Structure 1
Amino acid sequence: MKIDAASTTAVISFQAVENEVGTVTRISVANLRATVVKLASTLRERLLPLLQQRRVDLASEIEQSRIFLATYITTGINRVFLQLACMRLRLAYIPMDSNLSEQRMTSIVKYFSPIAFITDNDDVKPELGLVPLFAFTQLLNQAEASCSRNVEPLFVGMTNPVILLLFTSGSTSPIPKAILLRNGQLANRLCWQWSSTSPLAGITGPRLAKTSWLFIDAFTEMFGPLLDCQTVVVSGTSTITSERLVSDVDFLGRLVNRFQIAQINSVPSQLEAWMKLLDNGSKAFRSLRAIVSSGQILTFTLATRVFEVFEHRPLRLLNLYGSTEVAGDITALAFDSREEVQSAAVESPLGGLVLPVGKPILNVEIYVVSGICEEGPTDVVDRGEEGEVLASGAAILLEEPIMADRSPRLNISLMANSLSTRPCFSRVLRTGDVGFVCPTNGYLYITGRIDDMVKVNGVKICVGNIDQLLTRLRCEDGLFASLGTTLTITLEKGETGTRLVCFYQRETSGDNAFTNADLAKVVRTHFSAFLNVTFVEVPSFPIQKQSGKINKVRLRRDFLNGLYDQVTRPADNVMKANSSKADSRREAIRRVFAKHLGLSEAAGANGEPSDEKDFFLIGGDSITVAIIVPELRKQGFRVSLNDFAMKKKVGEILDTLVSQRHFNQGEPPLAPQKRLFVREYQPGKTFFGQPFHDAYCREVIAEVIAESFVRYEPLAQMINLSAKTMHQIVFGRLKQFETMPGLVYVAGFTYGDPDGPLEALLPDVCAATLGYPASTPPAPGVEDPLYHHVEKAFEVCDTEAGQLEDASKCFSSGLLGTRHDSIDGGERIQLLTLLEKALIDGVRKSGYTAIRSVNTSVVTQVMGEELGYVHNCTVNLASILEAHGVKCDRKSLIGRVATLKIGAQK
């Protein structure tokens, strides 16, 4: 198909003004090509020397599959430019965004050693080590100033290069898997979409790219239309995130209406949320011609609801099935009406209706088999019979997924294909799903997961069917209307047999009370009288941070440790009697949120943050939560980090926290008593081989010290030392301590075990200190020149204090800080004193004979005197710094230099 590249719009980039669509920029196909070529040329120029330094063979397929560009891009239009540039260069990239913590990004960088890290967000700076950091804006400006009209790939002669690396995580494993997606897989998926037989053929009009690019659907959503010369609508600003586009259905409706969007993609859970918020016949979405559902199983109820809400025709609902390992989708089925949905549905063993996922796409074969042996799959089952679902063809992986912790995989995904004689179908992929092919229509139906198939007391069952049954009963608004999320797992698998445990939450809004006996009875009635299931009510489910899925490993462990033994449901009359108390508690928690989210007192008084806002999109993060949790515990709330991981909306979090099971209603003697802990942290040793814990620990220490210095340290306030600089100082010191002498201690109060693992205590850390030999050079990686002036000022202080007998044996007390909002003054002094004592003891054990400190705080000065520090001299730090050209907001800041001789202390 020939097009006019100069007049055909490839991308529409929009910005928002006061919740409305504002500035709109249209980029033609010709301009897009020109920008991409220039950017690719600029990127090639910057990266080629780095590849040469690593001695990378640019003609090697293997080398190409091991070299990655790490990317953190927040703006939709920038993602278009960068991804196309990488593809031009045959350079594989790792997409990242705000859904990943800096600790997670640091771990990715450590494991995969990318050639560079590119970002368009100046605030995102994970620990990169030797990996260079490029600012995307600078690269783009440099590219636009160039005259490049063509660009050679970095890697030449590649027949099937890796395009990108994505992470996926199974719900039964806390370890993410890295998937290498190659050109052949992605091209096969896109070619199917562009074919004349595709369910999307003939649908024209703009498409909206809104999915987080951490997911494979974002690639097909973007490049399915774009590489077919169809217009794609993207965000032109970092303020309109993927999360905003999927959660704000009103804004989404305005976008669809404004640009007459023809197709949107969604996972069923998000689609269901939209259906609940939209009225039947919603006019804002009348331009839609296709809704693509993928990533999860589309239910019969949701599919019929789509055609009720969107009454206009034509409208096609496309049900896709697949996973990241198969480049997104391997089967498809289209519905054009509610009647087609009803005719395709079949009765499930549970009595409900299940929808098919269709037939294989281009160059893909699907098999349903009875079993697997070492040589590969065994026999294909008869149509209508349930079995394990396998896939083969151009869509599947060429290599096994990479475990992010480099551990060996216990289960093999790929194996030889004995079921096909065609060369391109030589291997099969185990999808992990259970299903059957209907004998009447030939469609594939997915009914569960293979790892959930068990035999209990002679009864063979897929444990996911129990959860499906309970979900259907909940929707019937009967006895189980107040039943919330359920998850059934297996325990004690082996010679002793299998025990099924169903964990569930109870919705507080339900009026009907049910018991565990009621749940057990309904399961036995629908399945078998020999099927015994243990039902356990839980206040919340533990959640995997990266995938958002329930952490089954943690759930099993907590259950076996008796964590859920005491969970009981309060009587309804007690809940009603305490409703006014719950309201007051709710607003008290909201005020704590407002304070730590940096909202003004006026905003807090006006009920901010409001219930509908996403806690993690208005400034909340793991560190904010770690600060809030101890404060709420102090007020009597039995709160944990998991309460924030389970919910994201402010109102949902508040609902969880004010529930009776989360509030400490008893008298003080019955409440858990918080206990003090002081622990040493050794960078590079304490969490060796545990990068997630190590990165989190460093972040906690940096946050505590930065907050303390910036808000309360007179020296930092006098010269306006920023929190960013303090973070860099702390991270620099911790990095030094991996190879140089240094001591780090953390302290706090916990309701848990003060002698337990340090990682379990990190949310309760309220104070930290760093000490190092006086001869230690300045911390590396600090950009602010103010820091180096401060170091010079401390050298002057040391000179004024006089020489020691052996300067090489002198330690500096360095950095000491505490949180102020989560502990009171007495507790703060207690922690500071204990930390200083721990430091003194550590210095003594390390063979040093003296500690010298410069104090500008009255508290630390008094504390030093009590611990035996001897006053050496008094200096005016303001005068010293101004002599070095530093602007100070006061004329005088007295610093007292004191020394403690370790050898003289008894």
Structure 2
Amino acid sequence: MGSIPQLSIVKGQHRDLKSQRLSKIFEVNLTSWSTNTAMIYNCPRTSKQNQITYEDLNAKSNRIARAIIRESAQRFLKPNQDNDSIIAVCMEPTDKLVMILLSIWKSGAAYLPLEPSFPTNRIHHILNESKPLMVICDDIVDTTIFQKTHTLRISDLLHKASTMDDNNLSDCKLLPFSNKDLAIVLYTSGSTGIPKGVRIPHAVILNRLTWQWEQFPYMAEESIGVFKTALTFVDSVSEIWGPLLYGMSILVIPKVITKDPERLVEYLEKYKIRRLVLVPTLLRSLLLYLGMNKNQQLLYDLKYWICSGEPLSITLAKSFYEYFQEGHHTLFNFYGSTEVMGDVTYFICENRNQLANFDRIPIGIPINNTIIYLLDQDYRPVKNGEIGEIFVAGYNLAAGYVNGRDEHRFIENPLAVDSKYSKLYRTGDFGSLNNGYLMYEGRTDSQIKIRGHRVDLSEIEKNLLRLEYIEKAVVLCYHAGEIDQAILAFVKLDDDSKPRTGLHIESALKDALPTYMIPQVIIIDKVPLLVNGKVDRQALLKSYENANNNEDSEIIIDYDYSDVPESLQIIAEDLFETVGSVIGRSTRTTLSVKSNFYELGGNSLNSIYTVTKLREKGYFIGISEFIGAKNLGEILKKISKGNVIEMEEDDVGSTLNLKAYPLRHEDREIVIEIITESFYEKADLEQWLKPDILPSDYYDILTAVWGPLVEKGLSFIVKNGDTNETIAAALNFDARDEPAVEVNNKMVIIFDFLEYLEGPIRDNYLPKGLNKILHSFMMGTDQKLSAQENIVCMHFMESEVLKLAKSKKFAGIFTTNTSPLTQQLGGDVYGYKTLLDYQVNKYVHSDGWRPFAKAPDSQRAIVHWKAISDEGRI
């Protein structure tokens, strides 16, 4: 008999759950921690810190709740068509915002967040559909955008509440005639082109939080949580109420801090934050920043890193464990959507070895009181390993959409045995089940995630087609989640319309779409079609790539240096070209001193990348300074005020008082340490071989060649003349007199690869005989050096190698560079000629293995040659 096929149905742990309004739980728990600090908020404008205890928060929220109830009664405000009493909130994140949210719950209403930056049309739609009782807004908000909806400024509401009773309200005193189970309404992007509101009850939030408290309990040393996510995003719910219903403090982080990785890290360090919820895009930004400051071991107290909102790539997970310590720091991958309270499955990643078992990060297993079904188009479970659409049943399901929209997303569960699983939510995602873990397999429709926000590309498309001069529009996402991510709108104009630019159309969309949904508009003459008549989407993406920054074409950007002082011209060229190279695909206008980085197409992720590239060129500017600059002219002034590392040969080494000394036997330990740290921690090839290579492998190899290195007299160390400390080393050989070394570890892959690149060139194109080719074998600098000092040291060593080669009468210098920094310095600064530019992921080892297969196409190995004499010219 054959075995019964396993079906793709996965059930989370069952836990009894007593449904309660969360404001009641807050009040019941109050006796245990009434004097504890509930909230901490530092005003970015005044630097004043506000703290409020649980007791004070409860009392003030009771007064505000009574003021809300009285205002509603006096104005005869009624529930909406769903019998929901909703109060819209349009406020920036502060301590007052959280107080208002708790007050709304205490009044018996649900809160509906409105982002102050939302386009007016979007706000009008949300208010017209959800029909809230009122809007509570910051004092500075223009209340005319709320039209006829009753509006209260926060100062007016607090004044009305000041004379109210501060005791807890009994149920009979709450807002009458409405559904008291509803807690929050969150609006998301809709496939019909119209945003839709998700109705989330108290019980759904409680199930999600109870699972969190049980599965990932707060640590003994964990006293402060972080509220930093936009209120319109579902992850804000667990950020706020997870700690506040558990007796902890929450640190309310203003938007201006959240957008600045440098200041955000300062906050997280200062308050010893132990867990952080973030989208993978922000994780990538933070890792880039942390990598620039690795010696400081920043955020090593932050143990739980919880990713959600976007797919988490395996490359990013590996990068996480290149910085953080395995066993001490844990990376989580949560999966879900607003309709299922943000998270319904989870995967725990504790070390790099786990990642070796997957080609993608799993979305994991279901949370408590949840069942995940993978179904075919006839709603039948697929077999284990097959791909099916993800359906969710259980306590985490929302109560549908406002006004009963899209009923087909919430359906009866034909497979239910237990009544609590009687409803199914159709996610629109595909998944598979492998070895007990759920794997994400993509979307069934046009939805993507941008910085955690769900964006339906069809909504953007429909808004474009509402512009009368657009005949056809195709909206696609390029490299979602990557540094060069972009939403692209390929637009064909009506033949009778007057000429328009992409920027003009983008500006027109700002009245209908939030900023994160505005696409880069590309005007096209015709829409490419497949043989079946459908739009050739790949052809459009390819045309975009070819027209911009791919391997085979240059970025075409206009640079305007007319307002740059002559003394800053060289620095300006480096700055503008760096910015252009990083955001070249997004740049649709001339770069000048008046250009704003973010208006050009920059974002927080590629701003860090830009700062890194500038540091590699020798220019130092802080992340906060870069982000805060109003235009490139301001950045130019900052990096020109004594922060530039001069590249003239006469000045090389002057900053650090560097001195070179021939390599000696007694230098062995310090040189091996410097080389090992430089290559094991930072080398571009070795990262793909970890954990199969070890620091001790470098020790073994360098020890084997140490004698010849010293005896040949072609290598040297670099010391800081002020401290006499060895801070760098350059190891060189005569390319035709290198010692034979038997390599008995995985480092043999590196040596085989380099020989594969260099051997044919050395043997067939370079001068023959001894004392002709100086092979610059390895250069390393002390990891304690700053980015500036590292550049100075690299310049100094290159100058010394050149002097050495000339004094020994070599024909030229031969080297292979795998680091973008040394590649750039070699080609652009030191005048090396490129003999071979090789894409490393194409390399096939002699045993048929592709050791660097996971490297991106952009990772290159460049074989360089610098001729010194006429004999060396090739």
So what's the TM-score if we normalise by structure 1? 0.49
1:451 to 439, 445, 451: 445
Match of 1:545 in 2: 513
CA distance in 2, matches of 1:573, 1:437: 37
C-alpha change, 1:106 and 1:557, in structure 2 (3 Å) is: farther
Identify which of 424, 431, 437 aligns with 2:427. 431
Q: How does 1:54-73 map to 2 (within 5 A)?
A: 54=77, 56=78, 65-73=83-91
Query: Hey, what does 1:364 align to over in structure 2?
Result: 370
Aligned ranges 1:494-643 → 2 under 5 Å? 545-546=513-514, 548-549=516-517, 559=527, 569=547, 582-584=559-561
Give, as a single letter, the amino acid of the residue that structure 2 aligns with 1:334. I
Aligned to 2:697: none
What does residue range 676-715 of structure 1 map to in structure 2 within 5 Å?
Answer: none
Distance 1:98 1:501, change over 3 A: closer
* Offset at residue 294 of structure 1 (A): 0.7
- Residue 263 in structure 1 maps to residue 275 in structure 2: yes
SS state at 1:388 partner: strand
Out of 111, 135, 141, the residue aligned to residue 153 of structure 2 is 135
User: Partner residue of 2:7?
Assistant: none
Task: Give the 3 Å change call, closer, same or farther, for CA 547–49 of structure 1 in structure 2.
Answer: same
Deviation for aligned residue 1:70: 1.8
Q: Percent identity?
A: 21
Out of 215, 222, 246, which is 2:258 matched to? 246
Which residue number corresponds to residue 33 of structure 2?
5
Map of 1:15 onto structure 2: 43
Give the letter aligned to residue 377 of structure 2. Answer: G
Please provide the CA RMSD for this pair. 5.0
Match for residue 306 of structure 1? 320
1:395 aligns with 2:363: no
Residue 159 of structure 1 and its aligned partner are, at CA, apart by 7.2
Distance 1:584 1:254, change over 3 A: same
Answer whether contact 1:206 1:263 (CA < 8 A) is retained. no
Distance 1:190 1:570, change over 3 A: closer
CA drift of 1:566 comes to 8.8
Q: How many residues are aligned here?
A: 509
Query: What amino acid is the match of 1:443?
Result: Y
Task: Tell me: CA distance 1:572–1:28, structure 2 relative to 1, closer, same or farther (3 Å).
Answer: closer
One-letter amino acid of the structure 2 residue matched with residue 398 of structure 1: A
1:418 — aligned with what?
414
| Corresponding residue number in structure 2 for 1:168 | 188
How far is the alpha carbon of 1:400 from its aligned partner?
Answer: 4.3
User: CA 1:44–1:570 in structure 2 vs 1: closer, same or farther (change >3 Å)?
Assistant: closer
What SS does the aligned partner of 1:412 have?
A: helix
- Structure 1: gaps spanning 5 or more residues: 347-352, 453-462, 465-486, 492-499, 511-537, 589-603, 616-627, 656-906
Letter in 2 for 1:429: Y
Shift of the alpha carbon at 1:205?
Answer: 2.6
Q: Is the 8 A contact 1:541 1:555 kept in 2?
A: no
Q: 1: distance between equivalents of 2:72 and 2:63? A: 14
Shift of 1:221: 1.1
Q: What do residues 863-901 of structure 1 show as CA deviations (whole Å, max 9, x unaligned)?
A: xxxxxxxxxxxxxxxxxxxxxxxxxxxxxxxxxxxxxxx
Distance 2:274 2:555 in 1: 51
Relative distance call for 1:557 and 1:583 in structure 2 (3 A) is closer
What displacement does 1:572 show? 10
Distance 1:320 1:87 in 2: 27
Give secondary structure in 2 for the equivalent of 1:584.
coil
Query: Is the 1:68–1:93 Cα contact (8 Å) retained in structure 2?
Result: yes
User: In structure 2, what residue type is equivalent to 1:392?
Assistant: A
Cα contact 2:313–2:361 (8 A) shared by 1: yes
Change (3 A) 1:586 1:173: farther
Matching residue's letter, 1:255: Y
Q: 279, 284, 288: which is aligned to 1:272?
A: 284
Give the unaligned 5+ runs of structure 2: 1-28, 449-456, 462-473, 485-501, 530-534, 566-571, 611-874
Alignment counterpart, residue 55 of structure 2, candidates 17, 23, 30? 30
Structure 1 position 85, deviation (Å): 0.6
Q: 1:547 Cα deviation (Å)?
A: 7.4
Task: Measure the CA separation in 2 of the matches of 1:336 and 1:174.
Answer: 40
Q: Quick one: structure 1 residues 203 and 420, their matched pair in 2 at CA, closer, same or farther if it must change by over 3 Å?
A: farther
Residues 473-496 of structure 1: CA distance to partner in whole angstroms, max 9, x if unpaired?
A: xxxxxxxxxxxxxx999x9xxxxx
Letter in 1 for 2:391: L
Tell me which amino acid in the other structure corresponds to 1:445: M
1:34-53 alignment runs, 5 A limit: 34-50=59-75, 52=76
Kindly provide the CA deviation profile for residues 452-508 of structure 1, in whole angstroms up to 9, marking residues without a partner as x: 7xxxxxxxxxx99xxxxxxxxxxxxxxxxxxxxxx999x9xxxxxxxx9988699xx
- Change beyond 3 A, Cα 1:502–1:93: closer
Pair 1:177 & 2:196 matched? yes
Residue matched to 2:304? 290
Does residue 83 (structure 1) correspond to residue 97 (structure 2)? The answer is no
Query: Quick check: 1:102–1:125 contact (8 Å CA) kept in 2?
Result: no
How far apart are 1:285 and its partner, in Å?
1.3
* Separation in 1, partners of 2:277, 2:549: 43
CA distance in 2, matches of 1:117, 1:384: 49
Cα pair distance change 1:611/1:8, threshold 3 Å: farther
Q: CA deviation at 1:139?
A: 1.6
Structure with larger RCO (C-alpha < 8 A, sep 6+) = 2
Contact 1:436 1:445 (C-alpha < 8 Å) held by counterparts: yes
Which one-letter code corresponds to 1:422 in the other structure? D
Distance 1:355 1:199, change over 3 A: farther
The amino acid of 2:559's aligned partner reads: A
**Residue in 2 that maps onto 1:74:** 92
Matched residue type, 1:13: Y
- Structure 1's 206 and 539: CA in aligned 2 closer, same or farther, altered over 3 A? same
State the 1:187 CA deviation. Answer: 1.6
Check whether the contact 1:357–1:444 (CA below 8 A) recurs between aligned residues. yes
For the residue of structure 2 that corresponds to 1:31, the secondary structure is helix
Q: What's 2:807 paired with?
A: none
Per-residue CA shift, 1:37-94, capped at 9, x if unaligned?
11111221112222x3x5x47xxxx867443212111132122101111111121222
Does the C-alpha gap of structure 1 residues 263 and 586 become closer, same or farther in structure 2, counting only changes over 3 Å? farther
> CA separation of 1:232/1:558 partners in 2, compared to 1, >3 Å: closer, same or farther?
farther
415-424 or 65-74, larger mean C-alpha shift:
65-74
Alignment TM-score, normalising by the size of structure 2: 0.51
Q: Tell me the CA shift for residue 287 of structure 1.
A: 2.3
Distance between the aligned counterparts of 1:501 and 1:354, measured in 2? Answer: 26
Structure 1 residues 476-491: aligned runs within 5 Å: none
Written as runs of structure 1 = structure 2, the 5 A alignment for 1:376-391 is 377-378=379-380, 380-391=381-392
